Every structure is written in structure tokens, then in C-alpha cells.
Amino acid sequence: MVVSFMNNTRSVFRLPTSWVPRWKDRFKASGIHFCISLSIALLAALLVFVVWYPYPYREISGGRELFLIVVSVDVILGPLMTLTIFNRAKPWRELRRDLTVVALLQLTALGYGLWTVCVARPVHLVFEYDRFRVVHAVDVPPELLPKTPHGVNALPLTGPTLLSLRPFKDGQEKMEATLAALQGLPLSARPDLWQPYASAQNNISQASKPVAVLKTRFASQSAAIDAAIASTGRKPESLVYLPMVGRKMFWTVFLDPLTTDVLAFMPLDSF
């Protein structure tokens, strides 16, 4: 009787012979889908982190978090849907239709995510009279784009460029621009105020401060400051600095005092 009961129990919990190959096919299809999705995600990551958000902008502008959320969801959900719908017992036309729908949904989600990251991308690092400010594509008012100076790409797709702000034409323009800034439109996001970076070289030199001052003000950050200086291959006395305003935080920019070339960045509020 005991043997009979055990045999009956085994028969109840025994998996159908067709179950194993069916799920094996599903896991195989899902695995292939995952590898394809991961490859596409890596290509998208090269575009985002090498072209649109090179260091330090991936830290300053928050592109990394947004991209990773979008891509992680996309890479995981696509293969899971394939795992759910894949079945060789389906007619080929029906299976092909289901897989096509999954692929289209996944590509649409990835495209939307990339578009969102693209709209939020940094486009310029602008010298704003006494500081640097990172300007993002979404910050620039479309109605001011026609006023972009000749030779300046207003919304570059190949990474942030260096610009500066021209002097105000008169007191009236300065007052209007200041009021607009108080209402949320930064001066650096106004194409009508842009000029080539080199045009402000003298002003940048005058506004910048010796790195020795920075080390004195932030003695507790001395090691981090030294590391940033070392990355330039320069001695501290051959560098100057200016504060920088990002999307979420303040940073510090290290410059050559003669050429005003940007040499290094560090996450330090030096205002």
C-alpha cells in the first residue's frame, strides 16, 4: 500500500514530457533576445556617455541615472516578454507576429528613452562673467535660437562646446536679462548673448583665482584638490580655477592661466 501511494504521488508531480523542451526553447529564445538587447544597449551607452555626456557631464548633468533606468527596464522586459510568448507549437506566422510586436515595443521604449536623454544633454559650457555654467538643450528657449551668432552650433549633437557671454550692450539689456534670469532663464542659456570662448579670454583670466587660494579655503579637501591637479600634469602654481554651476551641483574648473584652456574638473563648490 505504501509503495502504491508513493507511485501515485510521483505520477501526480511528474512533469509532462513536453514541458522540458518547451521551456528549454523559451529560455533559449529569451537568452538570445537578452544578448541582442544588451548589445544594442551597449551601443546606445557609447553614444550617451562618450558623445553626449562625456566626463564630467555624466556626473554633473545626471544623464547616467536616467539612461541606466531606461535601458535596464528595456533590456529586462524585452527578454521576459519573449520568455512568455515564445512557443514553437504556434504557427510560424503567429509567432513571427508576436516577436515583431515585442521588438517594436522594445525599440520604441529605447527610442523614447534616448530622445529623453538627448533633450536633456549638455550642449555648452559657458563662461558667465565670473563662473562657468553648463547649458543643456532643454534650457535653451526655442524662440531665441534664430539669434544664435553665426558660426555657433546652438544645439550640437557631438558633445558640449565652450562658449562665453558677450558684454551687455547697455543698461536696459542688462536689466531685462537679469529679470529673465530671476524668472528662471539663465544668462548662459540665451543664444543672443553667446560669443566664442576665446573672445572672453581676458575676462576669464581676470575672474579666475590661483589654486593656492582654493587649497587654503578648503584645507579638508586638500587631497582631492591635489588629485585633480595631478590629473592635469601641471604644478599648482601654474593653474587657476573658477566655480561651475551644473544641473544638480556646483563643481570647480581648473584652467591654464595664460590660454584659459579647461584642464580638469572636480566636484567642489568653490563659490
CA distance linking residue 225 with residue 214, whole number of Å: 8
* Per-residue b or e along 244-253, where b marks 16 or more CB atoms closer than 10 Å to that residue's CB: bbbbeeebbb
Are 153 and 145 in contact, with CB atoms under 8 Å apart?
no
SS3 258: coil
> What does the DSSP assignment read for 17-58?
TTHHHHHHHHHHHHHHHHHHHHHHHHHHHHIIIIIIS-TTHH
The CA distance from 162 to 183, in Å, is 25
Select from 218, 222, 232 the least CA-distant residue to 262. Answer: 232
Residue 1: C-alpha distances to residues 6, 173, 218 (Å): 9, 99, 84
* Contact by Cβ (8 Å): 177, 168: yes
Q: Tens digit of pLDDT per residue, the chain (271 long)?
A: 444 544 444 444 454 555 455 678 888 888 888 898 889 888 988 999 899 999 899 888 877 777 777 777 778 888 888 888 888 778 888 888 888 888 888 888 888 888 988 999 999 999 999 999 999 999 999 999 999 999 999 999 999 999 999 999 998 999 998 898 888 889 999 999 999 999 999 999 999 999 999 989 999 999 999 999 999 999 999 999 999 998 878 999 999 999 999 999 999 999 8
Q: pTM for this one?
A: 0.82
